């Protein structure tokens, strides 16, 4: 059993203030053996080293709420299941600016450890997992942590409603960020590279992945038996096998506004992964930009994806290919509205109606056709881009102004 050392005891800091209300404890440079924290307290130090009493102990074991740990180096808890910092049924704790390495787990939250903040920690070179949330550890915030050179960087097991943002999980043997039986989590602005799996979801639903960078892994983002997840604005490049990989009945997911470039395969859906919606993605420079053995929708009923291997034409110059893009291997799923140019966002440049990023006479020709057919013939985004005089409809005057802008005479 880890022994409880003498500490100064403080009132809990203000909510959200990591280490707030605590002065340094004067432990800089000292080597501390294993500690069990059993009551509200705050321990904030400048680079104090803490080491497990033996490999079978946690370094810090927290079994109380409102405990703050900041500034420690915690090592040596290499026994099976042991951690540098371990929270057991502990809530409202702040774990910040710690360096946890050479343990089995770096930081582990378990058994309903809820509403905790883990921020600016380095959980590197641990034997198994850098940061682990397990067994109904919910509503936690993981922000700006590094989890490098572990077996797995960050792992959520049966833990829900947490925010993972601005973390770096690189160069782990098997996975950067793993969610297993974990729902309603948000992953935003994380970087995962040089892992086996960048971001992996298994049996996990209703999660949101946005603005993450999953590059140079074996698999960029993959989902196993995971449904109703949303992937938006992620960059998924240069992965060895698959950029995005959905399999084993991963259904009803939405993938939009993602950049999937220079992977072996771009977006792949197999093994009864049905009813997914995929649109406004840029799929470029792969052996197969898209591959689908299931039944999915590769558009939003008006616009689809940009495929760098699309060979169709656009005779009406509206930015959408005249011919559908067959999705291999069998073509059961089809890209009905392939984009002729890479998708650049939901707010198009005024007057740029063919989505090529510049205003040309071709855009004026499209505006004339819209004027002849009535504004009701186009979707809301196209109407907004074509209605340059902002009178709620598209007329020949809009086409004239777009033509003048193409010549450089005016700015829209």
Q: What global pTM score does this model have?
A: 0.85
Mean pLDDT of the chain: 89
- What is the pLDDT, as a whole number, of residue 52? 82
Domain boundary among 317, 335, 353: 335
Give yes or no for a contact between 250 and 272, defined as CB atoms under 8 angstroms apart: no
Q: Considering the domain boundaries, does residue 315 fall inside one?
A: yes
**Residue 318 scores a pLDDT above 50:** yes
| Residues 256, 374 within the same domain | no
Q: Considering the domain boundaries, does residue 382 fall inside one?
A: yes
Predicted confidence (pLDDT) per residue in 122-161, tens digit: 999 999 999 999 999 999 999 999 999 999 999 999 999 9
Q: Considering the domain boundaries, does residue 93 fall inside one?
A: yes
Closest listed residue to residue 333, CA positions, set 294, 370, 360, 366: 294
| Residues 141, 189 within the same domain | yes
Give yes or no for a contact between 71 and 95, defined as CB atoms under 8 angstroms apart: no
- What is the pLDDT, as a whole number, of residue 38? 75
Location of structure tokens 């405990």: 67
Q: Considering the domain boundaries, does residue 346 fall inside one?
A: no
Who has greater pLDDT, 302 or 34? 302
Helix (H) or strand (E) holding 369: helix 361-373
Domain boundary among 335, 370, 394: 335
| Residues 172, 266 within the same domain | yes
Q: Considering the domain boundaries, does residue 42 fall inside one?
A: no
**Residue 94 scores a pLDDT above 50:** yes
| Residues 371, 253 within the same domain | no
| Residues 330, 188 within the same domain | yes
| Residues 264, 317 within the same domain | yes
- What is the pLDDT, as a whole number, of residue 161? 98
Domain count for the chain: 2
Say which range, 37-41, 123-127, 389-393, has the weakest mean pLDDT: 37-41
Predicted confidence (pLDDT) per residue in 341-365, tens digit: 999 886 667 888 887 778 999 989 9
Q: What is the CATH classification number for the domain harbouring 258?
A: 2.160.20.10
Distance between CA atoms of residues 176 and 190, nearest Å? 10
| Residues 104, 245 within the same domain | yes
Secondary structure (DSSP) of 52-100: -SSTTS-SEEE-SSSEEEEEEEEE---STT-EEEEEES--S-EEES-EE
Number of Cβ atoms within 10 Å of the Cβ of 185:
25
H, E, C per residue of 344-358: CCCCCCCCCCCCCCC
Q: What are phi and psi of 380, to 5 degrees?
A: -60, -40
Residues in contact with 84: Cβ distance below 8 Å, sequence separation at least 6, in sequence order? 58, 59, 60, 74, 75, 77, 98, 100, 101, 103, 105, 106, 107, 123, 126
Q: Considering the domain boundaries, does residue 192 fall inside one?
A: yes
**Residue 395 scores a pLDDT above 50:** yes
What pairs with residue 232 in β-bridges?
A: 210, 256
Q: Considering the domain boundaries, does residue 366 fall inside one?
A: yes
- What is the pLDDT, as a whole number, of residue 9? 31
What domain range is 150 assigned to?
60-66+78-335
Q: Considering the domain boundaries, does residue 309 fall inside one?
A: yes
| Residues 95, 146 within the same domain | yes
| Residues 209, 305 within the same domain | yes
| Residues 258, 373 within the same domain | no
């Amino acid at each position: 059993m880890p022994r409880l050392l003498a500490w100064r005891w403080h009132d809990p800091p203000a909510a959200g203030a990591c280490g707030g209300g605590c002065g340094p404890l004067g432990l800089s440079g000292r080597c501390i053996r294993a500690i069990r924290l059993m009551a509200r307290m705050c321990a904030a130090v400048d680079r104090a080293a803490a080491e497990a009493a033996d490999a079978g102990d946690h370094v810090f074991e927290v079994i109380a709420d409102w405990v703050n740990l900041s500034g420690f180096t915690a090592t040596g808890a290499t026994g099976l299941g042991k951690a540098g910092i371990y929270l057991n049924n502990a809530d409202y704790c702040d774990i910040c600016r710690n360096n946890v390495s050479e343990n089995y787990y770096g930081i582990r939250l378990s058994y309903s450890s809820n509403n905790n903040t883990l921020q600016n920690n380095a959980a590197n070179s641990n034997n198994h997992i850098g940061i682990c949330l397990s067994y109904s550890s919910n509503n936690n915030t993981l922000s700006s942590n590094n989890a490098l050179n572990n077996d797995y960087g960050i792992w959520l097991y049966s833990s829900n409603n947490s925010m993972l943002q601005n973390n770096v999980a690189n160069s782990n043997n098997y996975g950067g960020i793993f969610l297993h039986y974990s729902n309603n989590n948000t992953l935003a602005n994380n970087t995962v590279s040089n892992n086996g799996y960048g971001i992996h979801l298994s049996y996990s639903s209703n999660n949101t992945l946005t603005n993450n960078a999953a590059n140079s892994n074996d698999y960029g983002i993959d989902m196993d038996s995971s449904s109703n997840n949303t992937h938006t604005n992620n960059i998924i490049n240069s992965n060895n096998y698959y950029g995005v990989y959905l399999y084993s009945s991963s259904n009803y997911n939405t993938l939009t506004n993602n950049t999937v470039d220079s992977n072996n395969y771009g977006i792949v859906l197999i093994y009864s992964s049905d009813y997914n919606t995929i649109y406004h993605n840029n799929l470029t420079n792969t052996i197969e930009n898209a591959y689908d053995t299931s039944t999915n929708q590769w558009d939003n009923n008006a616009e689809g994806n940009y495929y760098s291997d699309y060979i169709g034409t656009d005779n009406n110059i509206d930015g959408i290919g005249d011919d559908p893009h067959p999705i291999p291997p069998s073509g059961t799923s089809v890209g009905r509205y392939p984009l002729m140019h890479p998708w650049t966002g939901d707010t198009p440049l005024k007057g740029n109606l063919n989505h090529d990023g510049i205003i040309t006479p071709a855009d004026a020709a499209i505006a004339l056709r819209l004027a002849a057919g009535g504004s009701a013939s186009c979707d809301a985004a196209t109407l907004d881009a074509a209605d340059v005089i902002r009178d709620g409809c598209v007329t020949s005057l809009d086409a004239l102004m777009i033509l003048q802008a193409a010549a450089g005479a005016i700015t829209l």
